[in-house]
């Protein structure tokens, strides 16, 4: 199975609550590799492009205000089945309904303030990574721990 790269965004509520380190630790403890990162304020145009499929929905304007209202940590995360693995680690959208042990299940109490975004498909990951990262901003490397994360038959 080949490695894939996915987009993860630690949203303003995760940043403001001081959860960045805990979330990064969970991703790395799982065996995923951070290959890109940016701590930034989200430009409105980027937020609108990222959430374009929700334009016109009742929550859209509030979502744009939320994600542009405080810094976020944008990550490119790589691993075997990284998209599905990250989605499992993240948990259900509403923290009250997310399973314990997931990021949202352990730290979230809201559906709107839901701490983290993760790409939901290879197509979304490709589109989102291009939106948030430019050429040369992702680092292609293999951490030395990699040999201890995957059985060679996994790769």
Which residues are tagged catalytic?
117
Do residues 42 and 72 lie in contact, with contact meaning Cβ atoms separated by under 8 Å?
yes
Provide the 8-state DSSP code for 19: -
Three-state DSSP string of 43-103:
CHHHHHHHCHHHCCCCCHHHHHHHHHCCCEEEEEEEEECHHHHHHHHHCCCCCCCCCCCCH
The rounded distance, in Å, linking the Cα atoms of 68 and 78 is 26
State the Cα–Cα distance between residues 24 and 36, nearest whole angstrom: 12
């Amino acid at each position: 199975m080949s490695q894939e790269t996915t987009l993860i965004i630690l949203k303003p509520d995760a940043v403001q609550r001081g959860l960045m380190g805990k979330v990064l630790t969970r991703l790395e403890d799982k065996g995923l590799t951070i290959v890109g990162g940016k701590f930034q304020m989200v430009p409105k145009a980027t937020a609108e492009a990222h959430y374009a499929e929700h334009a016109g929905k009742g929550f859209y304007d509030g979502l744009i205000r939320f994600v542009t209202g405080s810094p976020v940590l944008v990550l490119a995360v790589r691993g075997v089945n990284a998209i599905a693995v990250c989605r499992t680690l993240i948990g259900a959208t509403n923290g009250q309904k997310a399973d314990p042990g997931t990021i949202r299940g352990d730290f979230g109490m809201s559906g709107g303030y839901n701490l983290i975004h993760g790409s939901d498909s290879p197509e979304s990951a490709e589109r989102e990574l291009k939106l948030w990262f430019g050429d040369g901003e992702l680092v292609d490397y293999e951490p030395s721990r990699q040999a201890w994360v995957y059985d060679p038959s996994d790769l």
